[in-house]
Amino acid sequence: MRLAVIVPFLNEERYLGELLRSIGEQRRAPDRLLLIDDGSDDDGPRIAAAFAERHPYATLLSRPARRHERDRMVKAHEWRAFTWGLTQLDEEYEVVGKLDADLRLSRDLLAEIERQFEADPKLGIAGAFLRSEVSDEVFARHRCPPEHVEGATAFYRGRCLREISPIPAILGWDTIDEARARMRGWRTASFPIPSGDPVHLRRTGSHDGVLRGYRRAGLAAYAYGAHPLHVLFAGVNRLRDRPVPLCGLNYMAGWAQAAVSRAPRAESELRRFVRGEHRRRLRGLAPMRSRA
């Protein structure tokens, strides 16, 4: 199985070296690694170029610098850079992965992802459960239902990716992709990695402020069509996140803001599908709550 990995990055000099070291230590190296500089003005491109010089499977590619934006993630530039990277691959790969630049990978991540794809021909999108630091040297696994794949470690079977493309470059793309895949009969799943969960080296969405990250998550929930009761339940669940209770309130405010402004959304068929999944999940929670 031929496996390509694409890493978009923008001003990630603080973390990129750690990610690249962990890629270089993989038990199963990628057959192709594209490092996509999305307009950095820090030392990240030099770090990537030095890695590419030492590893024949790696190539550094650069996209033009773009103007500074108040929120660099709201237009899903990382997904745009990833899809541009797909057009730069010189041959067809059975699996293509997208990795965030602020990760430290466990040593057998790629080997385990490959094993899972080989074991299940209907597996369309796969990823790893992730951990991040919640206090000094204390790490916790992210909230992640087993069928959800976080965008930070998203691996696509080539045939599945072609069937679900193009994915709109909007917040929520990393749920729109998997919902489309399940609509078309593919399975999507995150897996524990035998040598341990990969580590997100900073709190998810926190590079420009934790609360802004929670508002973005609410905007994303609107984009992929989250059921309103699911949004309420998720928001209440996030009230316990630090800083309490602002994280949950910002999540719900982000969803409400998107609804009022009629922000871009996925197609209606997909939104109906997602709401149906959420209704089934909420029904499954009801007996659990009554027994508590």
Residues forming a β-bridge with 154: 98
pLDDT tens-place string over residues 7-46: 999 999 999 999 999 999 999 999 999 999 999 999 999 9
Helix (H, G, I), strand (E, B) or coil at 60: strand
What pLDDT does residue 70 have? Answer: 59
What pLDDT does residue 133 have? Answer: 81
Query: Quick one: residue 249, left, alpha or beta (phi over 0 = left, psi -120 to 50 = alpha)?
Result: alpha
What pLDDT does residue 170 have? Answer: 96
Calculate the CA 162 to chain-centre distance: 18
Residues 6 or more apart in contact with residue 237 via CB below 8 angstroms: 143, 248
Mean pLDDT of 246-269: 97
* Reported confidence tier of residue 220, pLDDT bands at 50, 70, 90: very high
What pLDDT does residue 285 have? Answer: 72
Q: Is the pLDDT of residue 287 over 50?
A: no
Sign of CA dihedral 211, 282, 181, 268: negative
Cα distance between residue 25 and residue 174, in whole Å: 27
Cα distance between residue 197 and residue 125, in whole Å: 18
Domain boundaries, the chain: 3-200, 210-291
Q: Is the pLDDT of residue 243 over 70?
A: yes
What pLDDT does residue 290 have? Answer: 32
Structure tokens at 75: 């237009």
* Reported confidence tier of residue 186, pLDDT bands at 50, 70, 90: very high
Query: What's the half-sphere exposure (Cβ side, CA atoms, 13 Å) at 10?
Result: 21
CATH fold label, 3-200 = Spore Coat Polysaccharide Biosynthesis Protein SpsA; Chain A (3.90.550)
* Reported confidence tier of residue 205, pLDDT bands at 50, 70, 90: low
* Reported confidence tier of residue 199, pLDDT bands at 50, 70, 90: very high
Mean pLDDT of 43-50: 98
What pLDDT does residue 274 have? Answer: 98
pLDDT tens-place string over residues 109-167: 999 999 999 999 999 999 999 999 877 778 899 999 999 999 999 999 999 999 999 99
Q: Report the predicted TM-score, pTM, of the whole model to 2 decimal places.
A: 0.93
Asked if 272 contacts 220 with a C-beta cutoff of 8 angstroms, the reply is no
Q: Is the pLDDT of residue 208 over 80?
A: no
Residues forming a β-bridge with 62: 37
What pLDDT does residue 202 have? Answer: 86
What pLDDT does residue 137 have? Answer: 74
Query: What's the half-sphere exposure (Cβ side, CA atoms, 13 Å) at 196?
Result: 12
pLDDT tens-place string over residues 67-109: 666 555 668 999 999 999 999 999 999 999 999 999 999 999 9
Cα distance between residue 173 and residue 161, in whole Å: 13
What pLDDT does residue 37 have? Answer: 98
Q: Is the pLDDT of residue 286 over 60?
A: no
Residue written as token pair 């900073």: 202
Q: Look up residue 208 and give its amino acid.
A: D
Residues 6 or more apart in contact with residue 6 via CB below 8 angstroms: 33, 34, 36, 82, 85, 86, 96, 97, 98, 99
Q: Is the pLDDT of residue 217 over 90?
A: yes
Lowest-pLDDT range of 117-126, 135-144, 175-184, 249-258: 135-144
